[in-house]
Structure 1
Amino acid sequence: MLELNPDQLLALAFSFLLPFFRIGAFLMALPLFGSQLVSVRVRLIFAFIIAIIVTPVVPIPEYDAISPAIIPLIAEQLVIGLVLGFVVTVLFQVFALAGQLAAMKAGLGFAMSNDPANGVTVASMGQYYMTMAGLAFLGTNGHLVMIEYLVESFQYWPIGEGFDSERYWDIALLGGWLFEKALLVVLPLAVATLIMNLSFGVVAKASAQLNIFALGFPIIMVFSLWFFWIMLEDFLNIYRLFFQELTDWLRLTLGASIDG
């Protein structure tokens, strides 16, 4: 008959709770799953199931389960989970920022809509890009890939390793990557609208009696909507390219070995 003393039961419980905290924080920060559209109870159930599966293969350092040393370990797992979820959020924010910039260039910045997932008001084009990115994320099994990276994080970022400031600095540099890719997405539209505005300026100078504002604004708006429609053909390829760059960053920076 298997017998466990209270100390063994306590150590077993904490060996489950430490991965559970990391997985739960990751699901709370993961786009779509961490939004208001998914209840906290559902996320906790998913975190509980994943933690039960991965706990037997997670290396747990030696520690006293009832000592204050367990508090930094719990905080470490929460931070790591939030960091991994934040990395995926950066990918989504690339398209949200691209939509905001595109809306301003197209003269559609006044068209605002409510984002039920995050509870904020954003430009309609930004919400449109976010929706497309979410569909691409689920359609290409991006959530499964990120869960694989999360499970493997117990190998390349093991429990008890501590807080490496260099890693967090590399994560902060993702902000530059975000702005770079968002500008690349919207750059063709920005250049096209700039050329059209310059052309309308020349026309207005040559024919002062022509109401160029009444003529130019609807033309630029129609052209921008046509550009968005044309971009639909390559949207999935753009998303895959950015997602591949993000997984390459995870392999080079954090040491992950899964080929996303």
Structure 2
Amino acid sequence: MLELYPDQLIELAFSFLLPFFRIGAFMMALPLIGSNLVSVPLRLAFAFVFSVIITPVIKMPEFDAISLAMAALIFEQLIIGVVLGFVVTVLFQIFSLAGQLAAMAAGLGFAMSNDPANGISVATLGQYYLSMAGLAFIGVNGHHVMFEFLIESFTYWPVGGGFDSDKYYDLVRLGGWLFEKALLMVFPLTIAALIMNLSFGVVAKASPQLNIFALGFPVIMLFAMFFYWVMLEDFLDIFRLFFNEMIGWLKNTWGIRVDG
């Protein structure tokens, strides 16, 4: 007959809770799943099921269940889960930032819409790009890769492994990658809009009687909309390129082996 003593039950419970805190924090920080579109109880239920599945295969360190060390381990798992979710968030924010930069370059920065996922107002083009990125993420099975990424993190970043400052510094450098890719996406439109503005400026200088502002603003907007329409053809390829770069960053920088 199987007998479980109170000390064993407490240890078993905390062995489950440590992965649960990491997975729960990851679900809260992950785009799409971590947005307001998915209720908190549903995210916690999914984290609970996921923790039950992977807890038996996770190597747990020796710990005292009722101690300050356990509180430190719980805090560690929460931070790691948020950090892992932030890595995926950076990929989505590339398209959100690119859309907002493109809107400002085309004179459409005034067109704002409510973001139901985050509860804030953003540029309409930024929200459009973000929605397209979410659809592409699901379409290329990115959510499967992210779950594999989460499981592999227990091998690379084990429970009780401590806080490695180099890993957090890598996140700071990842922010530079975000701005680089967002600027690359809008660079052609920015250069074209600059050339058009300079052209209208020359015309306004040569013929002051013309109302260049009334003429130039709708022309630039029409050109920008045409640019967005042309870009839609390559949007999925652009997303795949950035997604594969993120997978390569995880492999080369953090050593996490995932299939992209």
TM-score, normalized by the shorter chain, greater than 0.5: yes
Shift of 1:184: 0.4
Matches within 5 A, 1:111-260: 111-260=111-260
Taking the aligned partners of 1:128 and 1:10, their CA distance within structure 2 comes to 48
The separation in 1 between residues aligned to 2:257 and 2:97, in whole angstroms, is 30
Cross-structure match for 1:57? 57
Aligned residues: 260
Residue 59 of structure 2 aligns with an amino acid whose one-letter code is P
- Runs of at least 4 residues of structure 1 off by over 3 A? none
The secondary structure found in structure 1 opposite 2:127 is helix
- Identity over aligned residues, as a percent? 72
Determine whether 1:22 maps to 2:25: no
Residue 259 of structure 1 and its aligned partner are, at CA, apart by 2.4
* CA apart distance, 1:87: 0.6
Which stretch of the first structure deviates more once superposed, 245-254 or 14-23? 245-254
- Which has the higher mean CA deviation after the structures are superposed, 242-251 or 201-210? 201-210
Note the alpha carbon deviations across 1:41-63, whole angstroms, 9 max, x for none.
10011101110110010010011
1:69-84 alignment, distance < 5 Å: 69-84=69-84
Please name the residue that 2:92 is paired with: 92
Q: Alignment RMSD, CA only?
A: 0.8
| 3-state SS of 1:69 partner | helix
Q: Deviations 1:135-190 (Å, cap 9, x if unpaired)?
A: 11111111111010001100011011100001101111111111111000100100
Distance 1:206 1:114 in 2: 42
- Structure 1 unmatched ranges of 5 or more: none
AA at the equivalent of 2:15: S
Matched residue SS, 2:114: strand
> How far off is 1:88 after superposition?
0.7
Q: Counterparts of 2:49 and 2:195 in 1: how far apart (Å)?
A: 55
- CA–CA distance in structure 1, aligned partners of residues 126 and 243 of structure 2: 18
In 2: Cα distance, 1:34 partner to 1:88 partner: 11
Cα offset, 1:207, TM superposition: 1.4
Per mean C-alpha deviation after superposition, the further-off stretch among 248-257 and 25-34 is 248-257
Name the structure 1 match of 2:33: 33
Distance in 2 (CA, whole Å) between partners of 1:137 and 1:111 is: 26
Partner-residue secondary structure (3-state), 1:8 = helix
Structure 1 Cα separation of the partners of residues 189 and 96 of structure 2: 16
| Structure 2 CA distance for aligned equivalents of residues 60 and 203 of structure 1 | 72
State the distance in 1 between where 2:31 and 2:181 align: 18
Listed as ranges, the gaps of 5+ residues in structure 2 are none
Query: SS at the partner of 1:203?
Result: helix
* AA of the residue aligned to 1:33: I
1: CA distance, partners of 2:58 / 2:196: 59
Amino acid at match of 1:154: F
TM-score (norm 1): 0.98
SS in 2 for 1:122: strand
Q: Deviation per CA, 1:8-40: give whole Å up to 9, x if none.
A: 111111111100000000000001111111000
Code of the residue aligned with 1:243 in structure 2: it is F
CA distance in 1, matches of 2:258, 2:118: 30
